Amino acid sequence: MGVGGGIQAGDGMSLGEYSTIAAAALVLVLVGYFAVKDSEQWDQFRQDHECKKVGEISGTTSTGYGITTSGQGGMVTTYTPGKTGWTCNDGVTYWR
């Protein structure tokens, strides 16, 4: 920081840091876009194939313990989201 709190040359982020942030933002935008697109495609498929809701499975959280390759103890927590079962006029039950 410069005198009086002003910003001087060399105080900011480098081009590489800006590029990393921009790349991360782009990945988040793309993930969001494809999630929305997938949902829209499923909604259309569900309507076209007259799918009926037949069941639900609630999500689960699991915790496990173990030893890492360096000999330290470790804990892992995983979450599996819930799913809804849909039977469609093609005779297949889809879980989403």
Model confidence pLDDT, tens digit, residues 18-30: 999 999 999 999 9
* Judgement on whether residues 34 and 69 belong to the same structural domain of the protein: no
pLDDT at 48: 96
> Which residue type is seen at 56?
E
* Judgement on whether residues 55 and 96 belong to the same structural domain of the protein: yes
Burial code (b: 16+ CB inside 10 Å, e: under 16) for 24-60 equals eeeeeeeeeeeeeeeeeeeeeebeeeebeeeeeeeee
* Judgement on whether residues 43 and 71 belong to the same structural domain of the protein: no
> How many structural domains does the chain have?
2
pLDDT at 86: 97
* Judgement on whether residues 34 and 55 belong to the same structural domain of the protein: no
For 92, the 3-state DSSP assignment is coil
* Judgement on whether residues 43 and 59 belong to the same structural domain of the protein: no
Task: Identify the sign of the CA torsion 22, 24, 30, 33.
Answer: negative
Q: Which domain holds residue 82?
A: 51-96
pLDDT at 12: 80
Residue position matching structure tokens 């689960």: 60
pTM: 0.58
* Judgement on whether residues 73 and 36 belong to the same structural domain of the protein: no
* Judgement on whether residues 57 and 94 belong to the same structural domain of the protein: yes
